[in-house]
Structure 1
Amino acid sequence: MKAGLPVIVIGAGPVGLAAAAHLLENGLTPLVLEAGPRVGEAIRAWGHTRLFSPWKYDVDAACARLLAADGWLAPRDTALPTGEALVADYLEPLAATVALAPHIRTGAEVIAVSRVGLDKTHSRNRDDTPFLVRIAGAGGSFEDLQARAVIDTSGTWRTPNPLGQAGLPAAGETEAGTRITAPLPDVTGRDRAQFAGRHVLVVGAGHSAANTLLALGELAAAEPGTRISWAVRGASAAGAFGGGDLDGLPARGRLGTRLRKLVESGAVELHTSFTITAITTSTDGLVVHGATADGAVDLAVDVVVPATGFRPNLDILKELRLELDPGVEAPRELGPLIDPEFHSCGTVPAHGAKVLAHPEKDFYLAGMKSYGRAPTFLLATGYEQVRSIAAALAGNQAAADAVHLELPRTGVCSSDLGSGDDEQFAEAGARETSCCGTNDPVLLGYPARTGPLKGGRMEA
C-alpha cells in the first residue's frame, strides 16, 4: 500500500534538509514540508548572531556531496558563520540543488499526522497503512498528503517555555503582549528602537541570555538611559561565564569573559534565585513580580527578553502511537541519555533509528524536537540521527545501527542553564550538572555573538 509514496520530512532547517539528502542517497524519495516561506526560517530569526563553531562542524556530509555536485564552493572550515551566513551560504544553495529542489515545498504548515483511515486506537494493518499528513490551507481549509514514513524535524523554536514557575505562564504573562519579546532579538539592529533608552530585563542563564546581555551592554554604551537587569533562577550565574581563556571554543570563552565584566562593572544588575510570580502591565511598562531567597522583589521595566528555553509541540502528533520519556518528552530510550537533571560529563552516545523508534512504525522525531525539553542537542547529533534513519527506512539495518559521532573536546565545563533556563539548541548549553567532554552542549551551531558596534550597529 505504501509503494511509491514519499518519505515526508517536516521542517526545512539544517537537519530536515540533511534528512532529505540522506534519503536521496539511499534511493528513497523525500518530500520536505516547510511551514515558512523559505528554508531555514527559524535560523533567520536569530541570523544576526554568530555561531560558536566553525563551518567544518556545521555541514552535513550528504549535503556537502549534493552541493559539490552543483559546483558549490565550501566556506573556509575555520570561519565562524552567522545564522544569516548559515542560511545564505549553505541552506539556500542546498535547497536549490538540482537533486533536492524538486522535493521541497514551502508555505506548507503541517497541522496533523495520522494513518489513512485509522486513528491511534486501531491496530489492524496499521504498519502497512500509509501515513496521512495534513497541511493547512487558506480560510480554514486543508490538504491531506500520504507518505510511507514521516520524519519530524520541525524543531522547537515556535514553542518557547513560559516565564513563570513550574513550567506554567506567570499571571499576566499573556497580557504583556509585545512587551515580552521573541528570544534572541536583534538588539543593536532591526529591533534597536525597542531597547534604546529603555529598562530591559533578560530572564535566563544560558548562552541566549548571554548574547542578548552583551548586545544590550554595547547598546547602553551608545544610548544613554538604557538599563539592563538580569534574572536567573539559580543561586549563582557563575556557570554562565564559562571557561574563559581555557575554553576549547575561543568564541564561547570570550562570551563568558565579557559577560562577567559587564556584571562586575555594574552595567548589568543581576538578580539570582529569582522566580517570576506575576507580571503587571501598565501604560508605563511592566512590573515583574519575583520571589527570591531574600523575599519578594518587584522590577519595573519597559521590556522583557525571555531566554528560558523551548519545548516540543506534540499537538500535531496526537493520533500517533508515541513512546516518550515522561520528563524530557524525548523518545523513551533517548530520554535517560540526555536528561538535563542528570546528564553530566562524558559523551552523549551516538544514536540513530533504533533509539529514536516509536511503536508507530516508520515515524521518527529527529533534530532538536527529538530532544524534547532537554537543551543539549547538537547539529552533528541531528545529522547522524537522520543518516541512520534514512538507512533504516531503506532496509539497510547494518548501516542504521553503525552510529558514530566525532566532536571536538573542549576540556572545560559547559555553561550553567539550571532550573529551566535553557536554550533553543543543545548548542545552547546544559544545566548546572553539565560538565566537560565531547558532550559539551555548546559545541556546534548555536549563536555566539556578532562583532563590535560599528556606526551604531553590530558588525557581522
Structure 2
Amino acid sequence: MSAPTTAAPTSALPTVVIGAGPVGLAAAAHLVERGLEPLVLEAGPAAGTAVREWGHIRLFSTWAELVDPAAEKLLAPTGWTAPDGATYPTGADWAERYLQPLAGVLGERVRLGARVTGVSRLGRDRIVDADRDTQPFTVHVTHADGTEERLLARAVIDASGTWSTPSPIGGDGLPALGERAAADRVSYRVPDLKDPAVRSRHAGKRTAVIGSGASAFTALAALADLATSEDGAGTHTTWILRRGIGGSTFGGGEADQLPARGALGLAAKAAVDDGHADAVTGFRTTAVERAGEQLVLVAEDGRRLDPVDEVVVLTGLRPDLSFLSELRLGLDERLQAPLELAPLIDPNVHSCGTVYPHGVKELTHPEKDVYLVGMKSYGRAPTFLAMTGYEQVRSIAAALAGDQEAAERVELTLPETGVCGGAGLFDEPEAATAESGGGCCASPATLTIGTGAPAASGGC
C-alpha cells in the first residue's frame, strides 16, 4: 500500500518515531503533551522488544530515574502506579511494568511488527535541493506479514537504538578471521545464567569475555558467581581487554553518583582479585581458530590464548544507518554521532560517562526535522543514560511545537560517574587517570539548569 502522491499539508502529518523502546515511547508522550500527533513504528512484536532481550539484567538506575515525566502524566489517568522509585528493575520489569502500559495508553499510535526500511523526502533523493525542506518525509515500512507501505511524516525521530548491531571481535572493527565460522560458540550478549541451557554452556567451562564496559563487568560478575555455586566448580573466565588496566578501568566505584553502577565495576574487580577471572591486556583479536570443540583466540601480535569453550563478545554496539541513506545527516566520522554531540561523548577525549544534558541544538542535522535520539544518537560511544534520552526528546518535541525557548532550556541534572580523564595514549592506559576538579566532563560555563528539574537521571 502506498501513500498518494498528493499529500495533506506537511503540518497536518504525524511525526514518525522509529522504535517503541524507552526513548521512542517517551518521544511519543512528549509529542502528545505538545498537541502533536506521533506514529511509533516498532519492528518487534511488543513494546520494548530490545529491552526484553536483555530482560535478565538488572539496571544500575532506580525506577525514579527510568520513568519519563511526560509518560508518567500520560499514564496517571489510567490508574497506573509508579513502582518504588528507590528500587532497581530488571530489563523485563522495565518492559512489563512501564513500557507495555505506556504503549497501551498510546494505543493505535503504536504499530508493532512494522520495520522501517527507508526514509527520504517525497520526490527527492539526497541529491535534490529544490524545495527539499518543504516536502514531507516518506517512510517505507515492511510489516510482519511481508506487506509494504509508504507513510508520510512531518518529522522523523529515530529511536531505533543500536541493540541489533553489536560490534565484532576484531580489534580493527571487522569480524576476526574465523569469527563467523565459530558462531556456535560465540555470543554478543551478556549470558543469562538463570536459563538452564545457557548455564550449562558455561558451568565448569572456560569462557572468554571480550570488552571493558558495563556489559563486560556484568558478565564477569555473573560468571564469578557461577564459579562459586554448587554446579559451577571449574568455571573460569579469561577477560580480554584491548588496552591495559589503569586507574579508571573499573569505573568510579564509590565515587560514582549512581551507586549500583559503581558497584558493578567493583564486582568485576573482585572477580579478578578473587581468581575467578584472568585479565589479558593489550590483546586485539585477529583470528578465531578451532581446537576440537574449543576455540583459540589469536592476537595481532601473534599471542595465542589457551583454548576456551565459549566466547562472549561485549565490544560495544553501533548504529544501523542503512535505512537513512537518502537523508542528509551530519555525523562525526569516528563515532557516527551528530556532529555537535560527538565532542561531548568522544572516548578519545574523555573516559567518563558524564555528559551534560543536551537537546535539539546538539541533535540537529543538515536535513531539517530529522533526529537521531537515545542510544542511536551516541553512535559508537558507550555509557548512555536513559534520562539523557528523555531530555533529548523533551527538547525536540518543544522545537517541533515551535517553543524554541523550552527547546533550548535544560531541565535535567545528570549524576557524575566518579571517573574523568582523557583516554590517554592508545597503549598507555595509565595516562587515563582521574583528574581533580571539573575535568573534561564538567558542564560548560554557560549551562543553565532549569528549575523544578528531576534530581537524578536513569540509565541502562
TM over 0.5: yes
> Is residue 130 from structure 1 mapped to residue 136 from structure 2 by the alignment?
yes
The 2-side partners of 1:162 and 1:298 are apart by 18
Cα distance change of structure 1 residues 415 and 310 upon mapping to structure 2, 3 Å threshold: farther
For 1:300-332, what per-residue CA distance to the aligned partner results, in whole angstroms no more than 9, with x for missing partners?
111110111011111110000111111111111
* Superposed displacement of residue 256, structure 1: 2.7
Classify the secondary structure of the residue corresponding to 2:182: helix
User: What TM-score do the two structures reach when normalised by structure 1?
Assistant: 0.87
Aligned ranges 1:211-360 → 2 under 5 Å: 211-222=218-229, 223-236=232-245, 239-281=248-290, 283-291=292-300, 296-343=303-350, 348-360=355-367
Cα distance change of structure 1 residues 338 and 259 upon mapping to structure 2, 3 Å threshold: closer
Cα distance change of structure 1 residues 344 and 230 upon mapping to structure 2, 3 Å threshold: closer
Cα distance change of structure 1 residues 259 and 336 upon mapping to structure 2, 3 Å threshold: closer
The 1-side partners of 2:155 and 2:240 are apart by 44
What is the aligned counterpart of 1:151 among 129, 150, 157?
Answer: 157
What is the aligned counterpart of 1:112 among 104, 114, 118?
Answer: 118
* Superposed displacement of residue 156, structure 1: 0.5
Q: Which runs of 5+ in 2 are unaligned?
A: 1-8, 443-455
Cα distance change of structure 1 residues 196 and 446 upon mapping to structure 2, 3 Å threshold: farther
Classify the secondary structure of the residue corresponding to 2:299: strand
For 1:397-443, what per-residue CA distance to the aligned partner results, in whole angstroms no more than 9, with x for missing partners?
22112233212345x216999999xxxxxxxxxx9577787969xx8
* Superposed displacement of residue 248, structure 1: 3.2
The 2-side partners of 1:252 and 1:337 are apart by 20
Cα distance change of structure 1 residues 213 and 140 upon mapping to structure 2, 3 Å threshold: same
Q: Contact 2:209 / 2:311 at 8 angstroms: preserved in 1?
A: yes
Cα distance change of structure 1 residues 70 and 416 upon mapping to structure 2, 3 Å threshold: farther
The 2-side partners of 1:53 and 1:419 are apart by 31
Q: Tell me the equivalent position of 1:453.
A: none
Runs of 4+ in structure 1 deviating by more than 6 angstroms, as ranges, are: 414-420, 433-438
Q: Contact 2:359 / 2:395 at 8 angstroms: preserved in 1?
A: yes
Classify the secondary structure of the residue corresponding to 2:343: helix
Q: Contact 1:31 / 1:103 at 8 angstroms: preserved in 2?
A: yes
User: What TM-score do the two structures reach when normalised by structure 2?
Assistant: 0.87
> Is residue 184 from structure 1 mapped to residue 193 from structure 2 by the alignment?
no
For 1:41-89, what per-residue CA distance to the aligned partner results, in whole angstroms no more than 9, with x for missing partners?
1111111111112111111110010111211111111111111111111
The 1-side partners of 2:333 and 2:412 are apart by 27
Q: Contact 1:334 / 1:356 at 8 angstroms: preserved in 2?
A: yes
The 2-side partners of 1:418 and 1:267 are apart by 29
For 1:147-174, what per-residue CA distance to the aligned partner results, in whole angstroms no more than 9, with x for missing partners?
1110000011111111102212111111
RMSD: 2.6
Cα distance change of structure 1 residues 18 and 330 upon mapping to structure 2, 3 Å threshold: same
Cα distance change of structure 1 residues 253 and 335 upon mapping to structure 2, 3 Å threshold: closer
Cα distance change of structure 1 residues 359 and 391 upon mapping to structure 2, 3 Å threshold: same
What is the aligned counterpart of 2:212 among 205, 213, 217?
Answer: 205
* Superposed displacement of residue 335, structure 1: 1.3
For 1:327-355, what per-residue CA distance to the aligned partner results, in whole angstroms no more than 9, with x for missing partners?
11111111112211113569633221122
* Superposed displacement of residue 376, structure 1: 3.4
Q: Tell me the equivalent position of 2:415.
A: 408
> Is residue 12 from structure 1 mapped to residue 27 from structure 2 by the alignment?
no
What is the aligned counterpart of 2:29 among 16, 21, 41?
Answer: 21
Cα distance change of structure 1 residues 302 and 379 upon mapping to structure 2, 3 Å threshold: same
The 1-side partners of 2:266 and 2:48 are apart by 31
For 1:350-406, what per-residue CA distance to the aligned partner results, in whole angstroms no more than 9, with x for missing partners?
221122111111111111101111113221111111111111111122211223321
Q: Tell me the equivalent position of 1:386.
A: 393
The 2-side partners of 1:83 and 1:96 are apart by 18
Q: Contact 2:217 / 2:267 at 8 angstroms: preserved in 1?
A: no
What is the aligned counterpart of 1:370 among 349, 367, 377?
Answer: 377
1:122 aligned partner, one-letter code: V
The 2-side partners of 1:276 and 1:143 are apart by 43
Matched residues, percent identical? 51
